[in-house]
Amino acid sequence: MSESVSPDVLDRVMRTLAETQKLPADKVTPDATFEQLGIDSLDGINILFALENEFNINIPDESARLVRDVRQLAEGVQKLVNEKPAA
């Protein structure tokens, strides 16, 4: 995935992740891995729901399973946002 991530999307992904996981915002960086942040698969489900609501998108489970860090997550969200039909 080499989707270019807008600063707005990256910021919203990091903020949503921090809020969902009750993490200090400064710990959630684009290069932080889920392992470093203490995020397990159950946490991941909550994060996906929060991101789907934040961006009004549907994140496929298969794609989500491959994501290991914050930047990959933001790239995936950006791709889905870009593909979303204009309302």
Q: What is the pLDDT of residues 10-35, one digit of tens each?
A: 999 999 999 999 999 999 999 999 99
Q: How confident is residue 3, by pLDDT bands cut at 50, 70 and 90?
A: low
CA angle 7, 4, 58 (to 5 degrees): 85
- 58: which DSSP letter? -
How many structural domains does the chain have? 1
Q: What is the pTM of this model?
A: 0.91
Task: Identify the domain containing residue 26 by its residue range.
Answer: 7-81
Is residue 35, in this structure, part of any structural domain at all?
Answer: yes
Burial of 43 (0-12, 13-18, 19+ CB in 10 A): middle
72 lies in some domain: yes
What CATH number has the domain bearing residue 51? 1.10.1200.10
Would residue 46 count as lying in a domain? yes
87 found inside a domain? no
Q: Is residue 58 part of a domain?
A: yes
Neighbours of 62 (CB within 10 A): 7
